[in-house]
Amino acid sequence: MARINENYLKLKAGYLFPEISRRVAKFAAENPQASIIRLGIGDVTEPLIPAVVEAFHKSVDEMARRDTFKGYGPEQGYDFLRNAIAQNDYQARGADVSADEIFVSDGSKCDTGNILDIFGDDNIIAVTDPVYPVYVDTNVMAGHTGAADESGRYGGLVYIPMNAANNFTPSLPDRKVDLIYLCFPNNPTGTVISKEALTRWVEYAKANDATILYDAAYEAYITDPTVPHSIYEIPGAKEVAIEFRSFSKTAGFTGTRCAFTVVPKALKGKTASGESIDIQPLWNRRHCTKFNGVSYPVQQAAAAIYSPAGKEQIREMISFYLTNAKLIREGLQKVGIEVHGGVNAPYVWLKTPNNLSSWDFFDKLLSKAHLVGTPGSGFGAAGEGYFRLSAFNSRAKVQEAVERFTKVLE
């Protein structure tokens, strides 16, 4: 028998979403008349916008004709898409990112995991708590951690709490760390980081020779003009940060699959002997060796969001979800629940009433109001006592959910 990677045995069994499904299925079986509304999973519900569908169809037709058929494309992505991203997402915001620093992929989930390939195994790694579980689990798989304790924290990781006490702005580590995962607008809390706070992180990274892995999957939901969309809006960030972006939440591509990672040419790492090495060629090598590019029609579909019609349609779709978030946020506030997020993100993070545990509140919400959300404790120990609601649903279901919420307070 072949030896396995025993680091996988350290993973806490994929507990959160299977456990939610189990409890919902049990309740539904016992209460067949209940109409359950799901505000749990972070998946979009609106269909692709017309500009995207049109470009998608057109490029599928190109694949069907001998003279326009395309085989393998450039692993890094077609120039038309890399240029559109560089111009619209970066240069238009005053961030000097060039097309050859952009690597198109089939998802940010894979990119945030795969990035570990180009870093060594002895880095000190910091994550926020609560956290998008992919950052933690991929480090466990790579052998960068010890075992988990009963609260789910892994030995060897530095956890930086994000809670109401620090206004959901992670404070700088009290020791030197090498790799830092930040996600803003944040999943799960729906909160954002100010330009000043992000500047402090960039300065910390510079002073400590650290690299920031910045996940901006929800950047399109930012409504406050003072909030940075990209870490590269902060001076000097190109020397210390890699940024992950995805079309999943921006353009409803969760089932279509397209994302990109920015690895600036100014970013450096070091060897064991202290020699300084450019990171961008390492990622280019990794990407070209292990990945063969995103399909041509999908890249054309993604590029369509940068057309004038695409931009307008995307704005409408995001504003639809943000209105859902506002209805949830304001509806809950009205009945006296403490809420966070939901202004620059499609998630509302609520404090459970009467200090219920996240799972006790889950059960109460399901049994009394037939609503499903996500227990905050599933995102990390500091999420205990919090609960995530998602704005990805129809307007009618969101309105109905908000009305039903009063029932859990009785």
Residues in touch with ligand PLP (CB under 6 A): 42, 107-109, 132, 183, 187, 215, 217, 246, 248-249, 254, 259
Kindly tell me which of 254 and 333 has the beta carbon lying closer to ligand PLP.
254
Closest CA to 237 of 281, 195, 177: 195
- In terms of Cβ atoms closer than 10 Å to its own Cβ (0-12, 13-18, 19+), residue 208 is middle
Contact present, 367 and 214 (Cβ < 8 Å): no
Rounded to a whole number of angstroms, the minimum distance from the CB of residue 141 to ligand PLP is 17
State in angstroms the smallest separation of the CB of 245 from ligand PLP. Answer: 8
Q: Which amino acid is at 152?
A: G
What would the DSSP string read from start to end of 61-100? HHHTSTTT---S--TT--HHHHHHHIIIIIGGGT----GG
Residue 180 backbone dihedrals phi, psi, to 5 degrees: -130, 125
CB of 178 to ligand PLP, least distance (A): 21
Rounded to the nearest whole angstrom, what is the least distance from the CB of residue 406 to ligand PLP in the complex? 29
- When the beta carbons of 10 and 257 are compared against ligand PLP, the nearer one is 257
Question: Measured from the CB atom, is 37 or 104 closer to ligand PLP?
Answer: 104
Q: What is the token pair recorded at 186?
A: 């944040």
Taking CA atoms, 393 is separated from 40, 176, 328, 363, in Å, by: 10, 42, 11, 21
Other C-beta atoms lying within 10 Å of the C-beta of residue 80: 14
Omega before residue 130 within 30° of 0, cis: yes
Rounded Cα gap, residues 220 and 65, in angstroms: 35
Least separation, in Å, of the C-beta of 392 and ligand PLP? 10
Looking at beta carbons only, is 94 or 255 nearer to ligand PLP?
A: 255
Rounded alpha-carbon distances, angstroms, from residue 92 to 4, 204, 408: 48, 27, 46
CB closer to ligand PLP out of 219 and 384: 219
The residue (of 187 and 344) whose beta carbon lies closer to ligand PLP is 187
The DSSP 8-state label assigned to residue 142 in this structure reads T
CB of 249 to ligand PLP, least distance (A): 6
Residue 216 to residue 230: CA distance in whole angstroms: 7
CB of 303 to ligand PLP, least distance (A): 16
In angstroms, give the least distance from the CB of 335 to ligand PLP. 28
H or E element, residue 250: helix 247-251
- With CB atoms as reference, the residue minimizing the distance to ligand PLP is 107
